[in-house]
Amino acid sequence: MIRVTKLNGTPFLVNADLIESVEATPDTVLVLTTRNRVMVRESMDEVLQRVIAYHRALRVMPDPASY
């Protein structure tokens, strides 16, 4: 799960494995595999970095610096 913030300032957790795509319209929109769409305050790059960190924490995506 990654922490993101709704446009109204409410923080919430979303399952990173359910994120199908991220759009900038100019607000950042998470499109989930369930076809739900969630607008968040974080930028596309911030969401990407949180998803990468989530997968690294699960050891799904190794840290290149460890090679």
Q: Could you identify the residue written with the tokens 């607008």?
A: 39
Domain boundaries, the chain: 2-59
Report how far residue 39's alpha carbon sits from residue 4's, in angstroms, rounded to the nearest whole number: 10
Mean pLDDT, residues 10-28 taken together: 96
- Report if pTM > 0.85: no
Mean pLDDT, residues 24-29 taken together: 94
**How many C-beta neighbours within 10 Å does residue 4 have?**
22
* pLDDT, averaged across the chain: 92
- Which spans in 1-67 are helix H? 44-57
